[in-house]
Amino acid sequence: MKLYFNPRSRAVIAKWMLDECGAQYEIVPIDLEKKENKSPEFLKINPAGKLPALVDGDTRLFECAAICLYLAEKFPDAQLAPKPGDKDWGRYLSLMVYSSSQLEPSMGDHLMKLPTGPARGWTDFETVLNVIEGELGQGPYLFGERFTAADVMVGSMFIWMRIFGGQTGRPALDAYIERLLARPKGMKLG
């Protein structure tokens, strides 16, 4: 597998997931300043011209959530996803999609001090915090003792927020972020 990567991009999320899976992979460095992500070769992998992208044989993937869903299935021994039929399966899929369709854009509005208007497809950030705090419950992870790809997707968003100086103001979420950062293979930013 080849991970198209820049250490100052969301590609660190895909790398975190690959490392949690124990995957063997090659890093292909992409210089965003030189716009290597807009080259014709790269656009054949991700037509949106964004990182991360992953190539696995004839399969090409883009979007962090898709990459994490794919890897969780490809490496079942890592046990990073509930299986179809498992009682947690539906909630797991919901949280994976929620992380990039609601959590991330709402967090973007919040950090840029933009109002979250109605009919935008996501809620205000206070509601997001309530949702994730509720889903986390007593933790330590979103599925109790079991760490999953949903923690990679949801947790990485909060780690980003902290890097950009954002605070959750929620002790339970702050403790969750600390737990994720303390994982030996946890997300590292360049």
Of the residues 54, 64, 95, 150, which one makes contact with ligand GSH according to CB under 6 A: 64
Report CA Rg, the chain: 16
Residue from 3, 5, 9, 80 binding ligand GSH (CB under 6 A)? 9
Residue 68, class by beta-carbon neighbours within 10 Å (0-12 exposed, 13-18 middle, 19+ buried)?
A: buried
State yes or no: residue 156 binds ligand GSH (CB under 6 A): no
Q: What is the largest CA-CA distance in the chain?
A: 47
Please report, as a single letter, which amino acid is at residue 47. P
Of residues 64 and 180, the one with the C-beta less far from ligand GSH: 64
Nearer to ligand GSH, 54 or 80 (CB): 54
Residue of the chain from 4, 71, 100, 176 that contacts ligand GSH (CB under 6 A): 100
Q: Does 106 engage in binding with ligand GSH (CB under 6 A)?
A: no
Residue 63 interacts with ligand GSH (CB under 6 A): yes or no: yes
Residues numbered 130 to 149 that lie near ligand GSH (CB under 6 A) are none
How far does the chain reach from its first CA to its final CA, in angstroms?
21
Q: Is 32 in the site for ligand GSH (CB under 6 A)?
A: yes
Residue 15 touches ligand GSH, criterion: CB under 6 A: no
95 near ligand GSH, rule: CB under 6 A: no
CB of 15 to ligand GSH, least distance (A): 12
Task: Kindly list the residues in this chain that would bind ligand GSH in the complex (CB under 6 A).
Answer: 9-10, 32, 37, 49-52, 63-64, 100
